Structure 1
Amino acid sequence: MIVVYTPPDGEPEQYDARSLRVSEASIVSRTTGQKWKDVVQGLQDEDLDAMRAVVWVIKKRSHPGLRLGDFDPGIEEMVTRWDQDETADFVRRAIALADSDPEVTRDDLDEAWRKAIAAAADPAHAEATIKEMTEAPKDEARSPRPQATDPSPSQTSSPPEAAISDSSPTSSTSLPEPSMT
């Protein structure tokens, strides 16, 4: 998970939470009052305390005297994004789900790809990963499952509801969320 911190009138800075040493992760945990697994979940949920603590600890590498109270970013100055491994993992799991679940439609995958690109720290890499993993090998006719609900949809019918939902990650048709483990 990458925390992107954009200071006022500055360029975005990226801080990779996976680069933390155990001692640094312990400092983050003590600072936030959370176990590391909860900090990781907080990063996925863009928890301000988790993001602030991670950035602060990594900044301390080059500024050892930096105190937490001296690093107080604005609430809209930090966001989390997926690193390249998390992006590739999400794409692999989404393809596997689409291959195994006939209810996952082409529209569902297209929506998942849009979300993956938006969530990635490197959108160009996300696009390239999606393209690479969804192109069928020349000797194999494999592609993500096309929309297969009604074989004869009318022009006036509404498109089927997407099986992917931000509010129902436990749904059997929801695409997987990336994890840091």
Structure 2
Amino acid sequence: MIIVYTPTGGEPQEYDARSLRVSEVSIAQRTAGMKWGEIEQGLDSDDPEAMRVIVWVIKKRAEPTLRYGDFDPLITEMTTRMSRQEVTDYVDNAFALAETDPDVTTDHVVGVLQRIIAVAVDPEHAEQLIAEKAAGPKESTAEDAPEQQPPPEESSPSSTTPTSTSSEATGSGSSPTSSTSHPELSTT
């Protein structure tokens, strides 16, 4: 989850809650008086205290003396957004459900997913991803198909034993090796 903090008259700043270290999570929990799970749930619902503590902890990396009481943004200056990866995961899961549940149509999934465009940190990415998934897999044409290679004349079964990395010939001097023997020609 990305917290977008836009101080009045300033530029938006993005803070990724997933970038916290365990020690920082401990500080956030103690400071906010919330367990990590509660903080995460708070981010899902734009809880001001959850957003504030995460931004404060991350800001402390650059400003170690920043006190929690000194970081008191306006309620309208912070909101949460879904990262590109979260959007991708959410969209993939929604379309996977449509493939397995005959009661869920692609149109229904697209309708539900329109809501995440507004909460995505990159709305264009979300919109494009939804459109691509709704269109389904690209049908290959003759131009898109890879050239078919003729099958090899003889195929050897794959072996589970490792191959030698030595450049020396193996086997006895009187028996040919695969690197020195030539394939026998058939007379039929």
TM-score by length of 1: 0.72
Secondary structure, counterpart of 1:43 in structure 2: helix
Aligned to 2:26: 26
Q: Distance in 1 between matches of 2:113 and 2:84?
A: 14
Report the structure number with the largest CA radius of gyration.
2
Q: What's the offset of the Cα at 1:113? A: 2.5
Secondary structure, counterpart of 1:3 in structure 2: strand
Matches within 5 A, 1:1-181: 1-139=1-139
Secondary structure, counterpart of 2:63 in structure 1: coil
Q: What's the offset of the Cα at 1:132? A: 3.4
Letter in 1 for 2:53: A
Q: What's the offset of the Cα at 1:101? A: 2.1
Q: What's the offset of the Cα at 1:100? A: 1.9
Q: What's the offset of the Cα at 1:139? A: 4.2
Letter in 1 for 2:36: W
Letter in 2 for 1:136: G
Letter in 2 for 1:94: A
Q: Distance in 2 between matches of 1:137 and 1:107?
A: 16
Q: Distance in 2 between matches of 1:6 and 1:111?
A: 30
Letter in 1 for 2:52: R
Q: What's the offset of the Cα at 1:63? A: 1.0
Letter in 1 for 2:76: E
Q: Distance in 1 between matches of 2:124 and 2:80?
A: 17
Q: What's the offset of the Cα at 1:106? A: 4.2
Instruction: Return 5+ residue gaps in structure 1 as ranges.
Output: 141-181
Aligned to 1:153: none
Secondary structure, counterpart of 2:7 in structure 1: coil
TM-score by length of 2: 0.69
Change (3 A) 1:133 1:110: closer
The number of residue pairs the alignment matches comes to 140
Larger displacement relative to structure 2 (119-128 or 74-83): 119-128
Query: Residue deviations 1:144-172, cap 9 Å, x none?
Result: xxxxxxxxxxxxxxxxxxxxxxxxxxxxx
Q: Distance in 2 between matches of 1:71 and 1:98?
A: 44
Aligned to 1:145: none
Q: Identity rate of aligned residues, in percent?
A: 55
Aligned to 2:184: none
Secondary structure, counterpart of 1:60 in structure 2: helix
Letter in 2 for 1:124: E
Letter in 1 for 2:110: D
Q: What's the offset of the Cα at 1:79? A: 0.7
Q: What's the offset of the Cα at 1:91? A: 0.2
Higher relative contact order (CA 8 A, sep 6+): 1
Change (3 A) 1:134 1:108: closer
Contact 2:32-2:50 within 8 A present in 1 as well:
yes
Q: Distance in 1 between matches of 2:102 and 2:3?
A: 35
Q: Distance in 2 between matches of 1:12 and 1:108?
A: 33
Contact 2:95-2:106 within 8 A present in 1 as well:
no
Secondary structure, counterpart of 1:28 in structure 2: helix
